[in-house]
Amino acid sequence: MTFEFYGLLAQFQQQQPGGGHGIGIGYWLIIGASFLLSMAVSGTLKRRFAEYSQIPMRMTGAQVAEAMLRQNGINDVQVISVPGHLTDHYNPANKTVNLSEPVYHANSVAAAAVAAHECGHAVQHQQAYAWLGFRSAMVPVVNIASTLQQYLMLFAFGGLAFFKSPMMLMIWAGAFVVTALFAVVTLPVEFDASRRALVWLEKSGVANQMEHKTAKNALFWAAMTYVSAAIGAIAQAAYLVMMLLGQRDNRG
């Protein structure tokens, strides 16, 4: 079904004005669909976290993080507070669990779930989890590819429409392939961190059955943001690759 879909998109592109030398409406349909999916998932995530932030627990996010690190034998990772909302992340470079201010100070199910998830990444780092190492190694290349995408889009349009050259499109598509691969590699890292968080919350007794179920739902919707991002990145990369293949077939 997936290959048939992109095959139809490629055929549709060839029917657009410019004979395949411009970006067709199919690309904008993918952009629009990806945006709507991302907005829907993000909206649901915000509603869930707002709801679960009202369910109290006996420990703050910072305390949950400290306890999980300590019980996993991790003593060289610092838990710090950072400004912003949903800016939580683990930094393997300086070994810090960075919790947004609402998560760091709050004693709610939402805060506990987020804090435990970020500590899940610290546990991955300690245990040399392969997917985390792969993702970290890709970061410098992905940063370059992401920056290039912003500028290459204009050059791709110009190169195709005016110079009838696919070179700019090839570079642009390559940048999208890199970011799509990064999005895919991110999925097992995030799902595994959530799994580790939920297992610890249950076994440590920090969360009771009701709180564990709620935390699981919160982490599920957080993970869905990465899934929607991966879907959008794969769709855009596949479409651009199909365009290149279509141009190659036309030249043949």
Element (H, E) at 4: helix 2-14
Mean pLDDT by 10 residues, the chain (252 residues): 38 41 66 85 88 92 97 97 92 95 95 97 97 94 86 61 64 87 96 97 89 93 92 86 66 52
120 in Cβ contact with 197 (< 8 Å): yes
The catalytically annotated residue of 4, 51, 101, 118 is 118
Q: What is the pLDDT of residue 16?
A: 41
How far apart CA 185 and CA 226 sit, in angstroms, is: 10
Concerning whether 118 is annotated as a catalytic residue, the answer is yes
Amino acid at the residue 189: V
Q: What is the pLDDT of residue 151?
A: 73
228 in Cβ contact with 38 (< 8 Å): yes
Q: What is the pLDDT of residue 23?
A: 57
How far apart CA 72 and CA 75 sit, in angstroms, is: 9
How far apart CA 130 and CA 138 sit, in angstroms, is: 13
Helix, strand or coil for residue 99? Answer: strand
Domain boundaries, the chain: 2-56+109-251
Q: Per-residue b/e over 21-51, b at no fewer than 16 CB within 10 Å?
A: bbbbebbeebeeebeebbeebeeebeebbee
How far apart CA 149 and CA 173 sit, in angstroms, is: 9
How far apart CA 133 and CA 119 sit, in angstroms, is: 16
Q: What is the pLDDT of residue 214?
A: 93
How far apart CA 234 and CA 120 sit, in angstroms, is: 26
Sort strands 89-91 and 78-82 into parallel, antiparallel or unpaired: unpaired
Token couple for 64: 């949950």
